[in-house]
Amino acid sequence: MRKATYIIVGAGSAGCALAYRLSEDPANRVLVLEFGGTDAGPFIQMPAALSYPMNMSRYDWGFASDPEPNLNGRRLATPRGKVIGGSSSINGMVYVRGHACDFDTWAEMGARGWDYAHVLPYYRRMETSHHPGHDSEPGLRGTDGPLHVTRGAKWNPLYEAFIEAGRQAGYETTADYNGLKQEGFAEMEMTVWKGRRWSAANAYLKPALKRGNVDLVTGALVRKVLFDGRRAIGVEYERGGRIETVRAEREVVIAASSINSPRILLQSGIGRAADLQALGIAVVADRPGVGANLQDHLELYIQQACTQPITLYKHWNVFSKGLIGLQWLLRGTGLGASNHFETCAFIRSRAGIRYPDIQYHFLPFAVRYDGRAAAEGHGFQVHVGPMRSKSRGRVALTSPDPKAPPSIRFNYMSHPDDWTEFRTAIRLTREIFAQPAFAPFRGQEIQPGEAVQSDEALDDFIREHAESAFHPCGTCRMGAADDPYAVVDPEGRVIGVDGLRVADSSVFPQITNGNLNAPSIMVGEKMADHILGRDPLPPSNQEAWIHPHWQTAQR
């Protein structure tokens, strides 16, 4: 039987970081199992082509939610990366660490050692930030990590108009939302370097593979973890129609996404005992939290017509796309080298909210995220949604067959507060678009449309048009070892067994503010130290900015 010191299941955001760190010691042999394949090709590597890979079965698992009862029974796409780099190879490349209060909340929920003071050093270790203003907040941004983080050229005047409109509406601005002050309107950061998508595969996995003690097996569908009693000893996987096994001398680490990590645990006999027995799966550990606590960000596209022909719509034709692609292929520059989410905002929806609970991505184009439904004419839009929905869902097996798709039920909009928060987000957005900064550009409202004003009309719009921001997490929740609904302890060890850990976005106790790629990589970085038995990096003494009048003022 083939052997490795460590087996990592999944070459995604966290898995690539784990491979890089676990292989720093040449005595360790690391085996990475990935069902997907190569990330070679322009659709992944060109940032502006971001809508393509997540709609290609070659790169995406193709999951969809169960019919969502509060969204008119719609099944929402749930893309997850099926390629080296995982979802960091098919995502929008937006880089958001999360708010300091997110991680303090994790610690309060039982994830001891995951407060902001303890995660900040790992963010610094993992990144090379190319933000020029480091001197104003020393000790916050990394300068020599594997992950390059850059900002766009802000080639379009609409980017600056968005920030200025926020200022005119009375909101804060911030020089660095990934620094101490997240709240406010800002330039957005992206994982793009020298014109290429800087995925976890480019940043971590490819350098690790050059060391000689990391093996990557692609096309490997992991069927289950193998146990000797209650100790994980290896993995069974299918590749090319053959079932193979591999033995872990120390540990198996599951880093297969918030959908596939709980799925693999369940198939391995770790989950709610009654559910496993009903499927004929032998119970190894009764952990009812496996697959529970599923969270996501929902968002709406609020679109406005633009009265000047300056948006990306003028490039929405075969000839222009060809020129952009050619410039990118030859030089790695031009419009192909950006994800075009170059400004953003984090605001609070009302007084009494301690830290931001609404996020904006601004785009100088009126188009769906998947690129399928371009507006007819010039326009601009924001993606907007609440950050901390109280709704919770679950991932469950539909069959003991490892190839059977799982049941994914988010239970979107199942808490009454979700509706209040979304209506508020729409109305606050309209107020921002109505500011003088947008006067030279502002045409009619495309979506929702100016006739959609009442609570009832807004709710109808939300039911029909809310889309996932593709940030699922929480399904193998980290918590105290005596918490019956926690799946892993604060060092990632699966509670109730030995030799098995989980390290990816599934361990998040609560969803973080913003996009999830950065915190997912951070989890891989920090869990690597726990796996290796290293002392954690020394905690930071930096304190995040909180609006001084948050209890009485919304802005």
Dist CA 302 CA 352 (whole Å): 26
Q: Tell whether 19 is in a known binding site.
A: yes
Residue 326, annotated as binding a ligand? no
Which of 12, 15, 49, 51 is CA-nearest to residue 31?
A: 15
Which of 425, 480, 463, 401 is closest to 109 using CA atoms?
480
Instruction: Tell me if 26 is assigned to a ligand binding site.
Output: yes
28 is an annotated ligand-binding site residue: yes
The answer to whether residues 49 and 336 touch, using CB atoms and an 8 Å cutoff, is yes
Rounded CA separation 373/469 (Å): 17
Both structure tokens of 391: 């709704």
259 is in an annotated binding site: no
Distance between CA 189 and CA 518 in Å, rounded?
A: 11
Instruction: Find how far residue 374's CA is from the centre of its chain.
Output: 25
> Is residue 16 part of an annotated ligand binding site?
yes
Report H helices in 290-415: 318-331
Q: Is 22 labeled as ligand-binding?
A: yes
Residue 98, annotated ligand binder? no
Is 432 flagged in the annotation as binding? no
Q: Cα separation of 336 and 153, whole Å?
A: 12
Q: Annotation-wise, does 23 bind a ligand?
A: yes
Known binding residue 89? Answer is no
Say if residue 14 carries a ligand binding annotation: yes
Supply 173's token pair: 């601005």
71 is in an annotated binding site: no
Q: Is 471 a catalytic residue?
A: yes
Is 25 marked as a binding-site residue?
A: yes
Q: Give me the residue label for tokens 């330039």.
A: 187
User: Based on the number of CB atoms within 10 Å of its own CB, is 25 exposed (0-12), middle (13-18) or buried (19 or more)?
Assistant: exposed
Q: Is 398 annotated as a binding residue?
A: no
Whether residue 102 is annotated as binding a ligand: the answer is: no
106 close to 98: Cβ distance less than 8 angstroms? no
Does 318 appear as a known binding residue? no
- From 99, 118, 131, 471, the catalytic residue: 471
Q: Is 93 marked as a binding-site residue?
A: yes
CA distance 75 to 55: 15
SS3 per-residue string spanning 470-533: CCCECCCCECCCCCCCCCECCCCEECCCECEEECCHHHCCCCCCCCCHHHHHHHHHHHHHHHHC
Omega cis (within 30) before 132: no
Cβ 462 vs Cβ 418: under 8 Å: no
Residue 15 marked as a ligand binder: yes
The answer to whether 83 is annotated as binding is yes
13 annotated ligand binder = yes
HEC readout, 61-105? CCEECCCEHHHCCECCEECCECECCHHHHCCCCECCCCCHHHHHH
Tell me which residues are annotated as active site. 471
Q: Which residues make up each annotated binding site? A: 5-34, 83, 91-94, 222
Q: Which residues make up each annotated binding site for FAD? A: 5-34, 83, 91-94, 222
